[in-house]
Structure 1
Amino acid sequence: MPDPSSSASGMTLSGDPPSGDQSQSARPKDRTASCERCKSQKLRCDRQKPSCQRCAKAQASCRYSGRRRPGFPAGQRQYLEDKISRLENEARRAQESSKVASDASIQSSDTPNSEPTSTVIPDLVAKPQAPDTDPDALPIATVEKTRSLAVKDPPADLLFSLTALFFRHVHPWLPFLDPQQVFADMGSTTNIPLLYFALFGASIPYSRDSRLDPRSSDSFWTHSKRRIFVDILEEPSLTALEALTILTLDLSGMTNGPQVWGALAIAVRFSLQLRPIGNRVLRLSPETRINTPLSASEQTNRCRLFWAIYALDSYITITTGHLSDLSEDHASLFLPTRNATWGLTLEPIHSPGQQRDDNGLGDEQAFSSAPTTFIFAYQLMLLDISRKIHKNHVQKFSSYTEADPWGQDFIDCSNQLFEWFMALPKWLLLNETLNGRPKSPGSRPSLLMLHAYYHALVIQLQGVVAYPMNEVDNAQLPYQPNESQSRCMRSIESMLTISRMVVDNAVCEKLGWPFAWSLWVACRYLLVRNINEGLNELESFSVLLGCLKTLSRYSQIGAKYWRLLTQAAAESQAQSSTTPSSRYTLLAVTDLRIPTSDLEDQARPDPVIYTVPSADGSATQICTNFDFDVNMQNFNESISEGTFAIPGFVSDNWYGASLFPSYGYQQ
């Protein structure tokens, strides 16, 4: 059989036998491609020059272009080769770093450690490791690390790819954005909307992209943060406020201290403009002017944004020692439409003892169709109570007098918490949702957060009564201490159950930092209980602490809680052989008058707010029994002489790190 290729090469394109040089070479490069006009119209071209027959008949211009070479476009091969080389280098560096880490662990295992002082948490007290830095070197301040950082604009594909991670991990417990609208806006404009920079920063902890190494993610995040701050200050708009809200959420997962208060204050101030006053509305963006009345969906989106800021304000403020800048009068303007904003028609909260009803949902199918908004509506009701609890807490420890209604407010808050829990629909109860047939897998993390936050509020409220600080407090208590103690322990048992559910269902990455705060409150109370009753029971403490350590993978603030509690527990176990002067962290953590934000800020090498001696040498009211700023153990100082003995801890100035995701998330 003749070779098909030779037969084909023996004929010209017109079908005539080849002649002369054509018969010798007839190479593909000598063949003429179709003209551009025939090619675009998908017509057969006779490929005649200077004009093919079709173009000549149509009296159109006939133009031939060179035949495209097969293979990759120009430069594509080099791009792929460079990318392969870069990935190979990254893999090689990762292997080398893991080898160094394994060698270090082998060497450390050869060093004999001291015996643990407890069989419950054997790893809390051990022989300290040698510091990696000069013992005389000062901790690195945040500002120094910030100045040494190169700011880079994140790639567009990375911005968009991380957006989906936000809606998978964060949106379920703060569902104020419209996912369909956010994804529809992708690529609709030449300039990347500001919101995507905020979503990118909040989603970095959940990404496994090789481009997000610690330094690159810090640089990308810093660029995004600064761009958002500049836009909201120079060109305020609804889109800038949405981005600032996400940034505030991101910052609150890193710190409860002053470094998040500024962003929150700006968000609170602009949130008051989300409610239309007459025909005045906040502009959508600097480029967009609204010339028509807001539609129902636009007004709903603005109300949801307000309640998201309200929730963040409540979460952050309860960790501080001051009251919220978002007053009840401002929130009351949005309150009449709150249930409608979240698509719910809720019945008035019934009195305890009444049968639980569906609260307007009708059946389980309605719950499954909108689980996140349904749960968040009840979370907002709980946050209403949390604001009252915080106000009660601040009043008690700041300017309490006999004329203050602290005791009555305490009883009111306690009753409201009980009524809120009794009003929950049956499928919002943990046993109904988790032990029975699952209603919606995505709703479990937000439901666990809801119940954990409720029990944390019970402990936050009842803890100051369970173990009063002095005899004066004891004489003015609205309840007997043993009654508050029993309520706290019931909530502790519930927190243990929730923690086991979190670990068993592997949902830590879908829990927000308020869940870490709930664990912090429970652990802090257990330490207070041990000190006041002379106990050394840390079994429940270790379960909660283990869950908190798992959560610290996704939030810096969770890691800070864990380190504070771990050192306090170590000092508690070793207190029989130590002097009171070496138990500074334990004394600070168990002093419920000291706000969480103060504990965190004072543990930094460069605290934003610090205490100075007064002219007469008197101490502040909140720290009368504890010189907080002077005696607080700084976690960034070099470890020596058995101080802060936690296995695996190295003196890496962790608390002095800039407020960037990678330092806390990529351990």
Structure 2
Amino acid sequence: MESTTATDEASSTIFDPDRPSCQGCRRRKLKCSRETPTCSQCHRLGSPCLYDVKKNKPGLKTGAVEGLSRRIEVLEDALREVQARDSGPIENSYQTFSPENGRLDGVVSLLSTVCMELCKFNSRNTRMANESSPSSSHHELPTCNRDASYDSLISQRARKRRRVDTCGNPNIAIQLPLDNLDASSSLPESSLLEDIVNTYFERMHPWIPIIHETRFRRRMHDPDQRSSLVVILHAIVVAAIRFECPGNFEISVTEIDSIVKRSRSIVVLTAMDNLSVENLQALIIIAFDDIGNGNTSRAWSIVGSLTRTVEYLRLSVEDEDHGTQRLLKPLLSLAPSRQWVEEEERRRVFWNIFNLDRFCSVATGWNTSLTADDVHRRLPADGGFWHREEQVTTPFFGIWDRSEARIGNSIAFLPAQYSTAPKSPESATDSPVQYGSPHSASPSATQPDMSTVGAFAYCVEATESLSRVTTFFLQQKINFHDRREVSGWLTRFKELDLRLVHWKMFLPQKWRDSNISRQPSLVHMDPNLTLAHLTHNTSMILLHQRIAYPPAEWANIVRLPSVCSAETCQNAAIEIQNMTAKYLDNTPTSHPVSNQFVFCVFVAARVLLVNWRYYNSALPQELWHLVNSLDEIARRWLGSTSKDTHLSRCLASTYANHLRDLHRRCIANPHFNVDVLGYSTVVPNHHASSTTGSVTSACSPTAQQRQQHTVHVPTTASIQNQPSNLSPDISQVGSQWCALNSVAATQHPQLSEPLGNYQVNGHNTTDELSNISYLLLDQRFMDMDRVISLEDMMFTNTMASMSADTAVHLQDGSN
């Protein structure tokens, strides 16, 4: 009977060697027989025997961590030997990564692999512990084969793509999780903060490229340097946390708003405590974010502070200027740069503040803060060189002297673009050869090497051109009852127009195309180069719109090329719409655009509405395409907060609402007239309804007056084959124009013809205003190619024949 019972029990017991140990044996650290329904140990102890339904992957064996630590020590010793032999600091060793540094690169690769595998094991074991049942919460970790050692992990890691930052640089820092931050920093938890930093560099950084990502991440993971970056991290949180999906970290939109307010206050208070590059970088991010949110009243005060602080830190001049002899030496608040990468980062900090200063002036009509006396900086280097830490030298950029802006002064001989040699702002002598100036046509003139600059540099140039139109033309006080002053004002218009034509003409071929994709079928538009093209067309609109839509009383003072200027404004606005639509269609819908981009779209839409109202023409569909683009830009900018009504206002939505409000007023009131230059009063106001006083103009002509005004525009036949008797002043303008065009004579012969050969209709006259009027009405002047079009950018043709290296170089140039 007993033998029968034993036989029955044996037949009911099932042994499975692949089954893991039961929970009881793992907890007691006993050898399990893996029998069901009860193992021998649980049967002997009379305890329940439970097996895990799902087999867990093997984890770390006892002593494995110590073994890996010893291997890391060996690798560290090897790294120290390389450093001692090269006599270079560890940071420089990181910055000299190249395929030639085989041993050093291998050492860092092994360190990265070991640390990554340790983190993966850690994370997996934690997850296993959390998923196990309560009764097995203290069980022993599963064992693993002793042969699953470091070598197998290395080979497994080698098959995987090596993780790099958005600069394309391998860095051990981003392989590791961010350590827990000091609670006193008030920053979000480490996992959320890392996601916010990644989002910032992916979406916001291309528009304000002020941080070298690889260097920043390295410092962020270094406990000794992290404290100096806390202010920047808070600024990044302000700018990028709204793009994080609330569900990912169980954080609501209200909590996001609370975090943003707290971090912004910390940045503003901390950055005002002392002078440092990090504080400037944080304030730039805050100002950029405030403007995009439509909080311009808060942003302008920060911009004003930045323009002064950047001078205190001597970031507005190059390091080579610091040795200039002065009777009174300025106080230096910043130590010289130790590396070119650091100096280029400082240079980009300055140019981003410069762009903010210029945008503030253009959008509000205020004076600029950074002048030619303050600025002597080289243009920012191509983003590819900067990311790869390849030192290059770029040309200086010529800033115009605002003291020369008074009407009556010729701007023909102001710095055209670049200088090829350093010249201190304090030195008024021994001035370098200027590219594009009359002297640059000489064969012996030294031409600057423009191969070292990238898209961001051309965006700086276009922004300065936009500012010149405002400072040297629109802000000037003119008595339009004084014919001589009006003549000087129109001469200034012609000179600025020619400068913009030349900028487009001399734009290098590769920078005329903002599509940086290697595949013709794939459109990957460069943000900064697209913005540079939009800004150029916006400059044309702001320069020509007062000529295109003049007040009624000007009809009795001077004849203007209003039809030509109106056509220029229309073409520029339509091309801005084409480029905007192309950019929004070919970029991720979660990626925002910059404030200057928004301003360009707004100016283009507004001039289409002004043209419709002024000439009583058909309302172009491009107007509503631009308004819809502003709505899409607003949605992108707001991120996850766009669904919250009290947080759903930004610069783009303010501009879109203003345009709709103008259109409604025009429809409701047939006598309502739109102020051509009223765009500058829109930015400070958050509600379109508050701009009533800025959209009407008492001097706007009626339809009958406009018709009378346009009949004065002469035909081409009335200008040709007539005697010329130019006054000395106008002849001087003609000679300056000729000299300025000498560089382009071979490509555009019609631009290099002296104005002294122009012929004036009627009897001999010495009236300057009449002469400049006929110069502007000449067909050769009106037929100039002024607008950058979508076809000029050659989205599908240029890149098809480019090499991969050149395409990568262009892609890196986005910053």
TM (norm. structure 2) is 0.50
Match of 2:93 in 1: none
Offset, 1:296: 2.9
Amino acid at match of 2:45: S
- Counterpart in 1 of 2:782? none
| Counterpart check, 1:562 vs 2:656 | yes
Q: Is 1:553 equivalent to 2:635 in the alignment?
A: yes
Query: What is the alpha-carbon distance in structure 2 between the residues aligned to residue 507 and residue 542 of structure 1?
Result: 22
Does structure 1 residue 230 correspond to structure 2 residue 269? yes
Does the CA contact (< 8 Å) of 1:499 and 1:543 recur in 2? no
Q: Sequence identity, in percent?
A: 19
Look up the equivalent residue of 1:463 and give its one-letter code. Q
Shift of 1:403: 4.8
Q: Does 2:414 correspond to 1:377?
A: no
Distance 1:174 1:445 in 2: 11
What SS does the aligned partner of 1:329 have?
Answer: coil
> RMSD in angstroms over aligned alpha carbons?
4.7
Which protein has greater RCO, CA pairs closer than 8 Å, 6+ apart? Answer: 1
Task: Assess if the C-alpha contact under 8 Å between 1:159 and 1:197 holds in 2.
Answer: no
1:488 aligns with 2:569: yes
For residues 413-450 of structure 1, give each alpha carbon's deviation from its aligned partner in whole angstroms, at most 9, with x where no partner exists: 211111111111222224x8489955996543333222
Q: Does the Cα contact within 8 Å between 1:456 and 1:518 map onto a contact in 2?
A: yes
Q: Matches of residues 15-30 of structure 1 in structure 2 within 5 Å?
A: 24-25=44-45
Using the TM superposition, name which of 434-443 and 381-390 deviates more.
434-443
Which residue in the other structure is 1:427 paired with?
A: 510
Tell me how far 1:227 sits from its aligned partner.
Answer: 0.8
Given the alignment of the two structures, is residue 260 of structure 1 paired with residue 325 of structure 2, yes or no? no
Equivalence for 1:200: 237
Deviation at 1:283, TM superposition (A): 5.7
| Aligned-pair CA distance for 1:544 | 1.6
Q: How does 1:166-245 map to 2 (within 5 A)?
A: 166-189=200-223, 191=227, 193-210=230-247, 211=250, 213-245=252-284
- Maintained 8 Å contact 2:187/2:234: no
**Aligned equivalents of 2:14, 2:29: Cα separation in 1:** 18
> 2:369 aligned with 1:334, yes or no?
no
5 Å-filtered alignment, 1:106-125, equals none
Please state if 1:162 is matched with 2:196. yes
Q: Counterpart of 1:409? A: 492
Preserved contact between residue 165 and residue 203 of structure 1 (Cα < 8 Å): yes
- The alignment status of 1:599 with 2:693, answered yes or no, reads no
Q: Deviations over 1:608-634 (max 9, x none)?
A: x999xxxxxxxx9x97669xxxxxxxx
| Distance in 2 separating the partners of 1:213 and 1:349 | 55
Worse-matched range after superposition: 452-461 or 510-519: 510-519
Distance 2:275 2:668 in 1: 54
Query: Which of 647, 666, 680 is 1:572 aligned to?
Result: 666
For 1:72, give the aligned amino acid. A
CA distance in 2, matches of 1:253, 1:474: 43
Structure 2: gaps of 5 or more residues: 1-9, 16-20, 32-40, 50-61, 68-124, 135-184, 324-328, 387-391, 396-417, 419-433, 442-446, 638-649, 701-815
Which of 368, 371, 379 is the matching residue for 1:324?
368
Q: Secondary structure at the match of 1:319?
A: helix
The one-letter amino acid of 1:271's match is V
Residue 461 (structure 1) aligned with residue 543 (structure 2): yes
CA contact (8 A) 2:455 2:528 kept: yes
The answer as to whether partners of 1:194 and 1:243 remain within 8 angstroms in 2 is yes
What residue in structure 2 maps to residue 303 of structure 1? Answer: 347
Aligned to 2:471: 391
Could you tell me which of 244, 247, 258 is aligned with 2:286? 247
CA distance in 1, matches of 2:126, 2:192: 32
Q: d(CA) in 2 for partners of 1:69 and 1:485?
A: 68
Q: State the partner residue of 1:270.
A: 309
Assess, with a 3 A threshold, how the Cα gap between structure 1 residues 154 and 281 changes in structure 2: closer, same or farther: farther
Match of 1:650 in 2: none
Structure 1, 437-446 or 458-467: larger mean CA deviation: 437-446
Q: Which amino acid is 1:591 matched to?
A: D
1:160–1:186 Cα contact (<8 Å) kept = no
**Deviations, residues 547-601 of structure 1 (Å, cap 9, x unaligned):** 222111134101110000012122323435xxx5xx5xxx5xx3133343x2243
2:307 and 2:29 map into 1 onto residues whose CA distance is 76
Q: Does 2:553 correspond to 1:514? A: no
Say whether the 8 Å CA contact 2:608–2:623 is kept in structure 1: yes
SS of corresponding position for 2:635: coil
Max radius of gyration: which structure? 2
Amino acid paired to 1:244: L
2:129 maps to 72
TM-aligned CA distance change 1:427 to 1:605, over 3 Å = closer
Is this contact kept in 2: 1:427–1:433, CA < 8 A? no
CA distance in 2, matches of 1:447, 1:411: 26
Per-residue CA deviation, residues 633-659 of structure 1 (Å, 9 max, x unaligned), is xxxxxxxxxxxxxxxxxxxxxxxxxxx
Please state how far the C-alpha of 1:307 moved relative to its aligned partner: 0.8
Q: Where does residue 641 of structure 2 map in the other structure?
A: none
Calculate the TM-score normalised by the size of structure 1: 0.60
Give the whole-Å Cα distance in 1 for the aligned partners of 2:345 and 2:127.
Answer: 51
Q: Pick closer, same or farther for the CA change 1:231–1:466 going to 2, 3 Å.
A: same
Deviation at 1:28, TM superposition (A): 11
Please tell me the residue identity of whatever aligns with 2:664.
Answer: A
2:527 counterpart of 1:445 = yes
8 Å CA contact retained: 1:238, 1:283: no
2:234 partner letter? F
Mean alpha-carbon deviation: is it higher for 168-177 or for 233-242? 168-177
Distance 1:39 1:424, change over 3 A: closer
3-state SS, counterpart of residue 245 of structure 2: coil
Greater Cα shift, 501-510 or 262-271: 501-510
The DSSP-based 3-state class of the residue aligned with 1:592 is: coil
From 580, 601, 606, the counterpart of 1:499: 580
Q: Distance in 2 between matches of 1:314 and 1:524?
A: 21
Q: Secondary structure at the match of 1:547?
A: helix
The 1:520/1:336 distance shift into structure 2, 3 A limit, reads closer
Q: CA deviation at 1:409?
A: 2.6
Separation (CA, whole Å) in 1 of partners of 2:628 and 2:586 = 15
Write the distance in 1 (CA, Å) between the matches of 2:231 and 2:305: 17
Letter in 2 for 1:599: V
On the 8 A contact 1:199/1:246 being kept in 2, the answer is yes
In the other structure, the counterpart of 2:617 is: 535
Q: Kindly indicate whether the alpha-carbon contact (under 8 Å) linking 1:322 and 1:394 is maintained by their aligned counterparts in 2.
A: no
Q: 1:153 to 1:171 in 2, by over 3 A?
A: closer
Distance 1:441 1:202, change over 3 A: farther
- CA spacing shift, 1:497–1:623, aligned 2, 3 Å: closer
Shift of 1:470: 4.1
Does 340-349 or 317-326 show the bigger shift?
Answer: 340-349
User: Relative to structure 1, is the Cα distance of residues 73 and 323 closer, same or farther in structure 2, using a 3 angstrom cutoff?
Assistant: same
Q: Residues 152 and 219 of structure 1 are in contact (CA less than 8 Å); yes or no, is this contact kept in structure 2?
A: no
Partners of 1:265 and 1:325 within 8 A in 2: yes
Which residue identity lines up with residue 270 of structure 1 in the other structure?
A: T
Distance 1:445 1:73, change over 3 A: same
Q: 1:526 touches 1:541 (CA, 8 Å); kept in 2?
A: yes
